[in-house]
Amino acid sequence: MIQKRLHANRVLGGVDLTVRYRPERPPVLDGQTIDVPIGRVTMLIGPNGSGKSTLLKTLSRQIAAERGVVILDGRDIATLSAREVALSLGILFQENQAPHDLTVEELVCHGRYPHRRLFDPLTAEDRFAVEQALTLCGAGPLRDRPISQISSGQKQLAWIAMLLAQSPHYLFLDEPTTYLDLPHQFDVMNLVRHLNRELGCTIVITMHDLNLAARFGDHIVALHQGRIVAAGAPEEVLTTATLRTVFDIESRLFRDEQTGSLHCVPINRIPAAGGRPR
């Protein structure tokens, strides 16, 4: 069953994280420290190649840091078993691949793997969690459809349903709204808000859409060339000065009266010295 997550003793953060993909190349993240606020939605923003996915994968132990430590609930994440990590964390990658003939329901059942022993049938509790996840994500009507035969937005919801069936305390979503039309972007982000506000999941999301980040994020972390250059509430991070540093863009920011959230209107790219585009 998917129960409300309790926050006592929960901690997630990284200290002095240095990550390198190739020994001959400079590190992609160099000595970065991040605190993930528990019970909140954190948005990682930054240009292509700035290190968002790398930071997400490091915090979720998909990649090991060369130096530094990720602390999950008071323990060094490197010392936890794969099952302990899977019971705590759910991850949606930027690109997800499922076997072509797998149905939506089979994918969601797969989310129960940390709770089960290999080859054991699903228990009543597993079934209940799967049904709840399908319902919450609106994926019930798709249950018998092969993953390969549904739309990108429907796939995204099916993958999130799988993570939900896993009942994690922490959800990591790498660009969950890319390629989605506006209604599906809102479906995913409203679901994120529900998982956070109603079920108490701590959620970390990488995102290019600054307006969605401002609307649905409680905390924003801005990355530039592998460095965290700003972290805080949307109004602290989304400033014209920070957007200049991070994205090389001139922008205008205003608060929408109805939603109360910040909106960013990008005006133009800042020309390089000499007047030519960078």
Residues that bind ligand ATP (CB under 6 A): 21-22, 28, 46, 48-54, 94
Q: What's the min distance (Å) between Cβ of 273 and ligand ATP? A: 24
Q: What's the min distance (Å) between Cβ of 177 and ligand ATP? A: 13
Residue 62 or 261: which CB sits closer to ligand ATP? 62
Q: What's the min distance (Å) between Cβ of 130 and ligand ATP? A: 30
Instruction: Give 143-204 as a DSSP string.
Output: TTSBGGGS-HHHHHHHHHHHHHHT--SEEEEESTTTT--HHHHHHHHHHHHHHHHTT--EEE
Stretch that binds Mg ion, among 37-45, 47-55, 235-243, 251-259 (CB under 5 A): 47-55
Q: What's the min distance (Å) between Cβ of 194 and ligand ATP? A: 26
Residue 52 or 115: which CB sits closer to Mg ion? 52
Alpha-carbon gap, residue 187 to 171, rounded angstroms = 17
Residue 50 or 88: which CB sits closer to ligand ATP? 50
Alpha-carbon gap, residue 53 to 91, rounded angstroms = 11
CB atoms within 10 A of CB 136: 20
Residue 53 or 156: which CB sits closer to ligand ATP? 53
Q: What's the min distance (Å) between Cβ of 52 and Mg ion? A: 5
CA dihedral 245, 251, 252, 258 (to 10 degrees): -90
Residue 53 or 88: which CB sits closer to Mg ion? 53
x/- map, 3-42, Mg ion, by CB under 5 A = ----------------------------------------
Residue 28 or 165: which CB sits closer to ligand ATP? 28
Alpha-carbon gap, residue 198 to 186, rounded angstroms = 17
**Residue 31 interacting entry, from Mg ion, ligand ATP, none, C-beta within 5 to 8 Å by type:** none
Among the listed residues 53, 132, 166, 167, the single contact to Mg ion using CB under 5 A: 53
**Residue 46 interacting entry, from Mg ion, ligand ATP, none, C-beta within 5 to 8 Å by type:** ligand ATP
147-153's contacts with Cβ under 8 Å and 24+ in sequence apart are: 147/98, 147/99, 147/100, 147/102, 147/103, 147/104, 147/107, 148/98, 148/100, 148/101, 150/104, 152/179, 152/180, 152/184, 153/180, 153/181, 153/183, 153/184, 153/187, 153/188
**Residue 179 interacting entry, from Mg ion, ligand ATP, none, C-beta within 5 to 8 Å by type:** none
Cβ neighbours for 23, distance < 8 A, ≥ 6 positions apart:
none
Smallest CA-to-CA distance from 11 within 82, 75, 92 is with 75
Q: What's the min distance (Å) between Cβ of 21 and ligand ATP? A: 3
Q: What's the min distance (Å) between Cβ of 14 and ligand ATP? A: 14
Which residues in 226-238 are b (16+ Cβ under 10 Å) and which e? bebebbeebeebb
In this structure, what are the phi and psi dihedrals at residue 24, rounded to the nearest 5 degrees? -85, -5
Stretch that binds Mg ion, among 46-54, 72-80, 110-118, 139-147 (CB under 5 A): 46-54
Residue 199 or 246: which CB sits closer to ligand ATP? 246
> Which residues of this chain interact with Mg ion, rule CB under 5 A?
52-53
